[in-house]
Chain A
């Protein structure tokens, strides 16, 4: 009997922890979890701090100068006495290079993502991914150096021919396709078969000739362009688009992958070609994810500093006419980076705080677009999972 009891005791001490010890363990565990939570919430605290400290130094500017001048005037003479702080032209410059880079990067990025997710076999994809990663990894200052030292002189000296060749190579396939499709669509309603065929041929030749003439005329126009400076909005837009591409490609590829096989197979079963399947079925299903990718890519271009600082020419004016990409511009990021060197001697002046105001503007824009893209991704995930 006694032996039995002692054995029981032994067993319980081996497997069951005493109440006191359990209590201690529990407290330690809760405390540990709380500590972990505290460390993890560092991220949120940092975000709050960034907003607080950038805003703290931005508000004095608006107190000193008000809102109107900053947002509506394009007179940027911070060094004058009294200084003029109209940032409209600078904001426009940021908008311009961002829009330009998006125009190049979005079609390229989305079609590359489609190609990666739907066209290329896995074995090829394995080699493409590192290329995209390397493109994303190249430091921005190296891109800036390339833009300033190699690309800008090239654009200045050979800009016309470069633009003409790009125009020919990029646009001629599209115009040819448009001619084929248009002639096909226009003759589709003709009943008689031989007449339709003849009409089709004639229209095809006519449209191709029109396309050729358009190509030639605009090509000549581009070739004759005088590019006064290689450090202009076009240069920066091109370089920025290649920096935004990796983001757009990888995020929209994820979105395309998230669209299930069933949708694709359903479309194939109805006799659609791969292009039709992608354009009419997969892209609409993945559209919100791709939109999120585009927003992220655009934010990358808008927030980029070194390339625009080195290669945009840094001249604060609205180009004439407004879409002239061959003129120098100045952007928010480049202004912050460039003017701080002169301004930080006089902490407390409008000249110092205006840079924080610009930083705050960038911060708010990036925050909002991040939230929007995040909402979009969450919504898409919900829709696709069928909730």
Chain B
């Protein structure tokens, strides 16, 4: 090949590598940007009067006098809409039976699509579930619901070779010639006065319990559960891991036993996380019976086993990075080996060991598979510290899965899911970031 072609190949080879790295960075951005963007929306949003009503009734927060004044103001607009409904119902009674039947069905649909906006309508039974007791709490969702109210969704199956296409028909068209036609433009025009949206910073998203399976309220039980599980795992794994690392670096003689132990360590690091869950179920719960069924303790123990190899490796590296001169200076002063380890080597290696610990803490907080069978429940309130030995807990990682794929109204509460993902990702990334900074400082210090 001539030199020109070889140079082109060389350049493209470099471009391939740089391209891969750029794609990795872009992936990080593509994953994180929507999570951060929409996750922030869980706490910062335009809240309607229904949100403030819910806050006052469920958590006792908010100014009662102001709220009452707002309710009166909103009701003055709502009343007109309700009057239109009542007027049409009277009109419906006067129609001939088959026409009545046709309109009745459509009218029920109208009522059904109005309830998510304004809450229970006059003439409804008081609903049992909290989610039906209030109208739309968020203005962005209210606008979507308004669309559902104004338009009916239909599917076009005319082309048998392609997937059905969605199209919209105005509901008003179905009531041509009746008094109800006026309701649609009225609601469309006055929705903001019926709901009184205003910019809200809902800090309670972090600190509140959830109301009616996360339809309203916050994610405190999940945050607390994640905290308990991760810290519990560290309590078991950290001391054990550091001691094992001390043994491996200071005492172990190269030989059969040591190589077996090292192999075991890397095997443990490679076990799929779901297998840890199975083991936790079979060993901690079914055999040791540390608790009746799922509990924070069983979950923490399972997570501890999972993060143990990471801690051991990080601690080993940190101990090996301590300069020989420290050790020799200490030994030359007549200190024993154990004394040297405790008073000289471990303190010098501590930042490195902590770095590994912090990363493991993040891993324990983010992992889902090991706690599915051992600790996590979907719905639950925050548990006290005394309950960790006996009761399971909701946790961020598990509830993200649960809300996104098993919740009966998963698409209604996307904002809560995003908020939870953001909470989890920021906990884990902040831990990792602090580890990265810690490590940069250590390497600077070691360089002098």
Interface residues of A (CB under 8 A from B): 29, 32-33, 36-37, 39-44, 46-47, 49-50, 53-54, 56-57, 107-109, 111-112, 114-116, 119-120, 128, 130-135, 137-146, 148-150, 173, 177, 180-181, 184-185, 188, 226, 228, 242, 245, 249, 273-276, 278-279, 296, 299, 302-306, 309-310, 333, 336-337, 340, 344, 347, 355-356, 359, 362-363, 366-367, 369-371, 374
Is A145's CB under 8 angstroms from B400's CB? yes
- Shortest 4 CB-CB contacts between residues of A and residues of B: A303-B272, A115-B17, A139-B366, A275-B13
Docked pose: A342 CA to B338 CA in angstroms: 52
**Nearest-neighbor residue (CB-CB) of A347 within chain B:** B286
B19 to chain A: closest residue by CB: A111
Nearest-Cβ distance from residue A379 to partner chain B, whole angstroms: 14
CA A374 to CA B259, docked complex, whole Å: 11
Contact of A145 among B18, B278, B286, B421 (CB under 8 A): B421
Q: CB distance A114 to B17 under 8 Å?
A: yes
- Which of A143, A145, A374 is within 8 Å of B404, CB to CB? A145
Q: CB < 8 Å: which of A245, A274, A336 contacts B278?
A: A336
Q: Knowing A112-B20, A337-B369, A337-B372 touch, does A54 contact B425 (C-beta < 8 A)?
A: no
**Bound Cα distance from A273 to B13, whole angstroms:** 11
Q: Which of B219-267 contact A (CB under 8 A)?
A: 240, 243-244, 246-248, 251-252, 260-261, 263-267
Q: Is the CB of A276 within 8 A of B429?
A: no
Q: Which of A46, A115, A188 contacts B14 (CB 8 A)?
A: A115
Count residues of B near A (Cβ-Cβ below 8 Å): 93
Name the residue on A nearest B286 (C-beta): A347
In the complex, A54→B14 CA distance in Å?
Answer: 47
Q: How far is the CB of B274 from chain A (nearest CB, A)?
A: 4
- Decide if A56 touches B367 in the complex (CB within 8 Å): no
**Contact for B274 among A33, A119, A180, A337, CB less than 8 A:** A337
| Contact yes or no, A181 B1, CB < 8 A | yes
Q: Kindly state the separation between the CA atoms of A131 and B251 in the bound complex, as whole angstroms.
A: 36
| Chain B residues near A112 (CB-CB < 8 A) | 17, 20-21, 24
**Assembled-state Cα–Cα distance A245/B14 (Å):** 18
Contacts of B243 in A (CB 8 A): 36, 39-40
Chain A neighbourhood of B365, CB < 8 A: 139
* Stretch with Cβ within 8 A of A (4 or more), from B28-36, B113-121, B209-217, B346-354: B28-36
| Chain A residue at minimum C-beta to C-beta distance from B373 | A340
Q: Is B90 an interface residue (CB 8 A)?
A: no
| 1-33 of chain B: CB within 8 A of chain A | 1-2, 5-10, 12-21, 23-25, 27-28, 31-32
Q: How far is the CA of A309 from the CA of B277 in the complex (A)?
A: 15
B163 and A226: CB pair below 8 A?
Answer: yes
Instruction: A313 to B5: give the CA distance in the assembly, Å.
Output: 46
B287 at the A interface (CB under 8 A): yes
Write the nearest CB–CB distance from A318 to chain B, whole angstroms: 22
Among B48-56, B100-108, B305-313, B386-394, the stretch that binds chain A is B305-313
B5 touches A44 (CB 8 A): no
Residue of B nearest to A55 (CB): B282
Q: Does B283 contact A (CB under 8 A)?
A: yes
Given contact pairs A36-B243, A355-B278, A142 touches B35 in the complex (Cβ within 8 A)? yes
- Given A139-B367, A139-B425, A276-B10, decide whether A36 and B267 contact each other with a Cβ distance below 8 A: no
B421 touching A135 by the CB < 8 A rule?
A: no
Whether a CB of chain A sits under 8 angstroms from the CB of B77 is: no
21 contacts between A and B (CB under 8 A): A36-B247, A40-B252, A42-B240, A49-B283, A53-B287, A119-B14, A137-B428, A139-B368, A139-B424, A140-B273, A142-B400, A146-B35, A149-B414, A180-B8, A188-B1, A276-B6, A299-B272, A310-B404, A362-B275, A370-B266, A370-B269
**How far is the CB of A157 from the nearest CB of chain B, in Å?**
10
Contact B428 A43 (CB under 8 A): no
Whether B278 pairs with A146 at a CB distance below 8 angstroms is no
Q: Is the CB of B368 within 8 A of A305?
A: yes
Tell me if B162 counts as interface (CB < 8 A to partner A).
yes
Q: Is B271 an interface residue (CB 8 A)?
A: yes
**Inter-chain contact B278/A43, CB cutoff 8 Å:** no
At the interface, yes or no: B136 with Cβ under 8 Å from chain A? no
Interface membership of B405, Cβ < 8 A: yes
Given A40-B261, A42-B244, A116-B21, A53:B275 Cβ within 8 A: no
